[in-house]
Amino acid sequence: MEQPGEIIEAESFEVFQVISNGALATAGDDFAHLGTVVFFPSEDGNTYYDDQIIKVPAGMHARQIGTYRYETKESYKTVPIVKIMK
């Protein structure tokens, strides 16, 4: 995407799977985390771990910057790639 896309309305994300180029996480604020699945790319030296909670700092938002496609047991899923920014 040339411009950041929509804001993913969440104050935190929980990583459920780390892959070679980033992490898959679910959006949510109550840690039941039944929300949107998103992909955080590894960049700027970021590393991720299972069950990590990624918090969105005050004054910032998680914004979609593209889409990511991955394989599940039954099929493929396409989810938003997100980056935390102003």
pLDDT at 44: 79
Q: Tell me, yes or no, whether 47 lies in a domain.
A: yes
Answer whether residue 3 shows pLDDT above 80: no
| 7 sits in which H/E element | strand 7-8
Q: What is the pLDDT of residue 29?
A: 67
Q: Is residue 67 in a domain?
A: yes
- Residue 60 belongs to domain with CATH number: 2.40.50
Does a structural domain hold residue 1? no
Threshold 0.95, pTM exceeds: no
- What is the C-alpha to C-alpha distance for residues 84 and 64, in angstroms, rounded to an integer? 9
* pLDDT (0 to 100) of residue 45: 81
Instruction: Give the pairing of strands 37-41 and 22-27.
Output: antiparallel
Tens-digit pLDDT profile for residues 30-78: 655 568 899 999 987 889 999 999 999 999 999 999 999 999 899 999 9
Domain that holds residue 77: 7-85
**Per-residue pLDDT at 34:** 67
Number of domains in the chain: 1
2 within a domain of the structure (yes/no): no
